[in-house]
Structure 1
Amino acid sequence: MSGPLYVPVLPARPHAVGACRRLSRSVREVVRPLWNLPPLPGVASEQVAAMVGKYVGPASAATGRGGWVDAPFGEGAQTLALAEAMADYSEFGPLSPVTGPERAQAQQAAAMATARRSPRGLGVRVPVPAEWDGRLAEGVRRLLDRSGPDLPVDLLLDMGAVRGDRPDAGKEALRALDALVPLAEWRSAALLGGSFPQVTATMLDTGSYEEPRAEWGMWHEVHATGRAYAPRLGYGDYGVQPPAALARPPAPGRKGGPPWGVLSYTTESSYLLFRTVTGGPDRTAVNRGVARRIVGHPEFRGVEAGEGEAWLTDCSDGPLSTGQGVGGATEWLRAGNLQHMTYVVRSLPAA
């Protein structure tokens, strides 16, 4: 078993695609994204292929040396249409199809069929949103029995939201891994989790907020156990969005929204969140001031660290006479993911 260095769990949306496209070559080569198609409520089966192309095509093109594509929110009637539409991007691109022990048998069968037609193998995503349920191991065993011994398989242990209310997440991850790792000759295995919070206006009352990187601590806790699989266990997180953000359906043309937004910066132990504004006469001054706070932070890594830091530096230095260069929600997410993914890759031991 050899693990990918870093598995960001990303929505197949423009801000995340844009961040992956802008990663430096050295970083991009060791990032293996797990792309997620958004929910498609009410979309008829015959329209699914067009929607998949809209989201997954750009994500596939932005992927470097491999990754996975999943549709975890597909409605019952969409299951086969989604699997068939995504087959193009896993058969001929760098992405592997994904299934899991709790998925419908039709989805499992379709993902396996796609994996057999391509050289990319199959991702097995096992959700553990609370305590480890040993019955999941039996579900994975049955899935692997159907896939057969010749199909390369990757284990994606997804702990979901990992924050302060889950102090035993590391222990639950160990229970899951101890049960799952022996089930197959996994090509790779990764431990995924997300501690980036669901940001509220109250949280940013003082202008900033700090959230511990609990998923980072969980991964280190597992590595410190000395398990035989630990040195090769990949690390994954949800970037600079909460795990629940993946389940938001697309809302084309949506207007309105809160008068504030968020610029984030990742440090060794925390996510730093700063309140921005989306409109008003002081928008440029306020948002450039936020960027200056980040650039002036003791843990800011400097303009040479990557394009995320370069964007923040440019934003902080821009003139007040123009609103150009202060961005909006999409650019703030893109810059946040850029600095975050680059920092994570450079923080992990070499593969």
Structure 2
Amino acid sequence: MSEPIYVPALPARWSALTAYGLLTPDVRTRVAPLWTVPPRVGGERTPGRPPLHPLDPDPAALARHTYEAFGLIARVQRDHPAWVDTCHVEREPGFPGSGAAGPPLRPVTGVERDPRQQVACAEAARSGGTGLGVRLRPTGPPDERSAEALCRLLERIAFARCPVDLLVDLGEVDEEQDAHHTALHTLNLLGPLHPWRTVVLLAGAFPRTHPEAYGAPLAETYRTDRHLPDLLRHAGHGPRPAYGDYGAHDAASADRVSDTGDDPFRGALRYTTALTFLVGEVPAETDHHLTVRALAREIVAAPDFRGAEYSEGDRWLQVCADGTGPPGTGHPDSWILAGHVQHLTHVARELRRHS
């Protein structure tokens, strides 16, 4: 396939996997996800900080959980490559190893990972012929120590002689963060260290908590990530970076066991416009279907709604608003699915239009 123009970082769960499978062929060919296998049990994990001891009490269940995720990713990707990050399960007893994913999936490592994991990823990449990704999570502009750590990792995996991708993950960004400076400094410092096959810059995200801005029940919040694609044109070294975000969810979605856990905000309808995110929170009430249809009607009536023919997510919103579909309005996973489809479609087409 041609090099991707859009790399969404998505959790390997039903909502995101199904959403990717529903993308039209013209979108799928230019979208290469970075899938993360979510944890099976426990609370939210902190990216880049592996636990000091195993957290999953059932190695056999952990193995089934991981194999199932690998199988679902491979099925939805078909022959299209994608990256697979196992950061939340790879230190647990029962983890089947990075090679279990198999081609065309590309294993992911990072400078903070156990050296044995780094070597195992390189061996899997060499045997599968897929290459591998190095995921970095800078919390600020990197320095020489960051470059030295990356060089040590590259030396450790050099034996594989395989293509390597640089995945720079800024996490959630807001208007008060100097994300542009961090992004450019990271790319300019670390980009020249290796002849990367692909360079990706991930940033942005839907809000973690329900936004207060503009109105209710359908709130609106500014897309703080929208200027980053323009910034990527000015990166000084190596291949032009591809843009990435987290689909229709916050940056920590893949660090949790499920989309619909204890956080009530995850029961929401979401829509991506050119400048903003529209978000409608659905309270956990017996007549929540009335709220869902009311929110869908607001989204469909918004001037930025792109019409039912634009994507399966837009079509779902139109049918939900009209009441012409099934009697119910589904559950939070269904709402997230619709959000992912319309978001992925919109971002991919906008990037292609401006590329």
Partner of residue 337, structure 2: 334
Contact 2:67 2:100 in 1 (8 A): no
CA distance in 2: counterparts of 1:251 and 1:274, whole angstroms: 16
Partner of residue 132, structure 1: 142
CA 171–330 in structure 1, closer or farther in 2 if over 3 Å, else same:
same
Q: Paired residue for 2:268, among 240, 262, 271? A: 262
Q: Does 1:196 align with 2:206?
A: yes
Cα offset for 1:219? 3.2
CA 251–311 in structure 1, closer or farther in 2 if over 3 Å, else same:
closer
Contact 2:211 2:221 in 1 (8 A): no
Q: Which moved more, 1:133-142 or 1:257-266?
A: 257-266
Partner of residue 279, structure 2: 273
CA distance in 2: counterparts of 1:259 and 1:194, whole angstroms: 18
The 5 Å alignment of 1:143-158 reads 143-148=153-158, 150-158=161-169
Give per-residue Cα distances to partners, 1:48-98, cap 9 Å, x unaligned.
3211022231122112511110112236444xx53x444222x2x421000
Q: Does 1:222 align with 2:217?
A: no
CA 259–37 in structure 1, closer or farther in 2 if over 3 Å, else same:
closer
CA 48–311 in structure 1, closer or farther in 2 if over 3 Å, else same:
same
Q: Does 1:303 align with 2:308?
A: yes
Contact 1:301 1:309 in 2 (8 A): yes
The 5 Å alignment of 1:74-85 reads 74=89, 76-78=91-93, 81-82=94-95, 84-85=96-97
Contact 1:264 1:271 in 2 (8 A): yes
AA in 2 matched with 1:70: D
CA distance in 2: counterparts of 1:251 and 1:170, whole angstroms: 29
* Matched-pair identity in %: 35
Q: Which moved more, 1:309-318 or 1:267-276?
A: 267-276
CA distance in 2: counterparts of 1:126 and 1:286, whole angstroms: 40
- Tell me the secondary structure at the aligned position of residue 305 of structure 2: coil
Equivalent pairs counted in the alignment come to 337
Q: Paired residue for 1:50, among 64, 68, 72? A: 64
AA in 1 matched with 2:252: A
Partner of residue 287, structure 1: 292
CA distance in 2: counterparts of 1:3 and 1:171, whole angstroms: 25
Contact 1:161 1:243 in 2 (8 A): yes
Cα offset for 1:334? 0.2
Gaps of 5+ in 2: 41-54
AA in 1 matched with 2:307: G
Q: Paired residue for 2:84, among 69, 79, 90? A: 69
AA in 2 matched with 1:341: L
Give per-residue Cα distances to partners, 1:137-166, cap 9 Å, x unaligned.
211111111222721101101111111231
Q: Which moved more, 1:189-198 or 1:36-45?
A: 36-45
CA distance in 1: counterparts of 2:175 and 2:335, whole angstroms: 25
Contact 2:195 2:238 in 1 (8 A): no
CA 251–331 in structure 1, closer or farther in 2 if over 3 Å, else same:
closer
AA in 1 matched with 2:250: P
Q: Does 1:238 align with 2:238?
A: no
| TM-score of the aligned structures, taking structure 2 as reference length | 0.86
CA distance in 2: counterparts of 1:285 and 1:100, whole angstroms: 46
CA 159–50 in structure 1, closer or farther in 2 if over 3 Å, else same:
same
CA distance in 2: counterparts of 1:250 and 1:295, whole angstroms: 28
Cα offset for 1:133? 4.0
CA distance in 1: counterparts of 2:13 and 2:310, whole angstroms: 25
Contact 2:253 2:259 in 1 (8 A): no
Contact 2:125 2:131 in 1 (8 A): yes
The 5 Å alignment of 1:24-35 reads 24-35=24-35
Q: Does 1:20 align with 2:20?
A: yes
Cα offset for 1:180? 1.4
CA 32–51 in structure 1, closer or farther in 2 if over 3 Å, else same:
same
- Tell me the secondary structure at the aligned position of residue 160 of structure 1: strand
- CA RMSD of the aligned region, Å? 2.6
CA 18–348 in structure 1, closer or farther in 2 if over 3 Å, else same:
same
- Normalized per residue, which structure has more helix? 1
Contact 1:190 1:234 in 2 (8 A): yes
Cα offset for 1:285? 2.9
Cα offset for 1:44? 4.1
- Tell me the secondary structure at the aligned position of residue 216 of structure 1: coil
Q: Paired residue for 2:175, among 154, 164, 188? A: 164
- Tell me the secondary structure at the aligned position of residue 349 of structure 1: helix
Contact 1:121 1:151 in 2 (8 A): yes
